[in-house]
Amino acid sequence: MRRIVITGMGAICALGHDAPSVWKAMTEGRSGIGPIHHIQPGQLRNGGIAAEVSDYDPAKHFDEARRTLLDPFSEYALIAANEAIRQSGISFQGEASARTAVVIGTGAGGETTRDDLYERLYGEHQGRFHPLGIVRMMMNAPASQVSMVHGITGPAFVVASACASSNHAFAQAAMMIRSGMVDAAVVGGTEACITLGTLRAWEAMRVLAPDTCRPFSKGRRGLVLGEGAAMYVLETLESAQKRGAEIICELVGTGMSSDAGDIAAPSDIGAAAAMNMALRDGGLSPQDVDYVNAHGTGTVANDSTETKAIHRVFGEHAREMLISSTKSMHGHALGAGGALELVAAIGAIHDGIIPPTINYLEPDPACDLDYVPNVAREKKVDAAISNSFAFGGLNAVVAIRRMG
């Protein structure tokens, strides 16, 4: 089987505008959650908090002609992809262009553009739309934009499976590389969902926290939406070694399952199935895993169910592992969540630091594992998994390992 390594990483979210800044904020336990700046007070019932990308000026990244084509979810994807490709040093010249894939996960698509268009139609009763509205909001836009900017002519598409989108994208890219269809892939997730329409819809589900995100903590009151993107360069070990690339870590396994149960309520059986599949695919035993970056949304049902799933998979070893949810810092970025959380899993392997679960108040009897509350902890990590579990019962898990 062809071994897959990660040679480039890029990110932008509420914690920073590049991957090193995001990782530093995670290790410091810094929160990106705060008041929403572009929505008027009183328009939201939950107090109007989210994890926005702050101090962001698209003009610093894109010229005016390109900006007219881009919704923020495509902007974020391009910024993160550009960073990952620069770090990797990979070239897409010649045959490599057709031997590279672009696979991006997103759950919501171009919500900013969609919200603006509907405000004009229903709020202002305007009859004319921007002629580029469709190409800005369509789900496949970020994959198309990354392929065009970098001249990548291999398979390019978007995976949309709600909060599991990024990890499903990693799985699709890994399968294409392993099969020999491609030799490399630019892969990750992106989301720009902090819009009035999106937030009001989430409010209606009564799962948004009014104060902050407290995964696994007693007194948690729900999730907080976030936005941003993280992108990676995956390639064969042979390719990376041949060109002398610095290898960040090895992607060894992916696991996917469907609960086939409730559209919103999670299942510990389904989540455990995806974790077990990722371990088997990666040739890992439960005892090999040192860190779990949990889905950890901060809702009562999700966190207790995920805890049960971890017990199912890891048995007694579950109490020896360290587990944390970085959503407590960068919010729940929906389809980009898994990609942003892989920054944490990679950082744990690379630097031996486990980012904390911040805002933690006190233990919940239903969540009885070590969630690294509030303060980062040092620990050597040889292997880690990152969990993503979506509405609709769609589960996807990625397993990574230190290069030996």
- Encode pLDDT of 190-241 as tens digits: 999 999 999 999 999 999 999 999 999 999 999 999 999 999 999 999 999 9
> pLDDT by residue (tens digit) across 11-50?
999 999 999 999 999 999 999 999 998 888 788 887 689 9
> pLDDT by residue (tens digit) across 355-372?
999 999 999 999 999 999
Q: Give the pLDDT of residue 29.
A: 98
Let me know if 295 is a catalytic residue.
yes
CATH 3.40.47.10 fits 253-401, yes or no: yes
Catalytic pick from 213, 295, 330, 367? Answer: 295
Q: Give the pLDDT of residue 50.
A: 97
Which DSSP helix (H) or strand (E) runs through 42? none
Q: Give the pLDDT of residue 38.
A: 86
Angle between helix 141-150 and helix 72-88 axes, rounded to 10 deg: 40
Let me know if 163 is a catalytic residue.
yes
Report the alpha-carbon distance of residue 184 to residue 92 in Å, rounded.
10
Q: Give the pLDDT of residue 45.
A: 80
Task: Note whether 255 and 277 are within 8 A (CB).
Answer: yes
Domain boundaries, the chain: 4-242, 253-401
Q: Give the pLDDT of residue 129.
A: 84
Mean pLDDT taken over the chain: 97
Angle between helix 72-88 and helix 111-118 axes, rounded to 10 deg: 160
Residue 94 above 80 pLDDT?
A: yes
Q: How many CB atoms lie within 10 A of CB 89?
A: 14
The DSSP-derived string for 366-378 is TB-S---BSS-EE
Burial 151-177 (b: 16+ CB within 10 A, else e): ebebbbbbbbbbbbbbbbbbbbbbebb
Task: Note whether 395 and 272 are within 8 A (CB).
Answer: no
Q: Which two tokens stand for residue 185?
A: 């892939």
Q: Name which CATH class applies to 4-242.
A: alpha beta
Give the mean pLDDT of 280-300.
98
Percentage with pLDDT > 90 across the chain: 94
Q: Give the pLDDT of residue 231.
A: 99
Let me know if 61 is a catalytic residue.
no
Task: Note whether 301 and 396 are within 8 A (CB).
Answer: no
What's the number of CA atoms in the CB half-sphere (13 Å) around residue 126? 10
Residue 323 above 90 pLDDT?
A: yes
For residues 44 and 113, which has the higher predicted lDDT (pLDDT)?
Answer: 113
Which amino acid, one-letter code, is at 142?
P
Give the mean pLDDT of 110-137.
91
Report the alpha-carbon distance of residue 95 to residue 159 in Å, rounded.
25
Q: Give the pLDDT of residue 404.
A: 77
Catalytic pick from 150, 168, 330, 332? Answer: 332
Percentage with pLDDT > 70 across the chain: 100
Residue 79 above 80 pLDDT?
A: yes
Catalytic pick from 13, 17, 150, 163? Answer: 163
For residues 38 and 297, which has the higher predicted lDDT (pLDDT)?
Answer: 297
Give the mean pLDDT of 181-198.
97
Q: Give the pLDDT of residue 42.
A: 82
Q: Give the pLDDT of residue 127.
A: 76
Asked if the domains at 4-242 and 253-401 fall in one CATH topology, the answer is yes
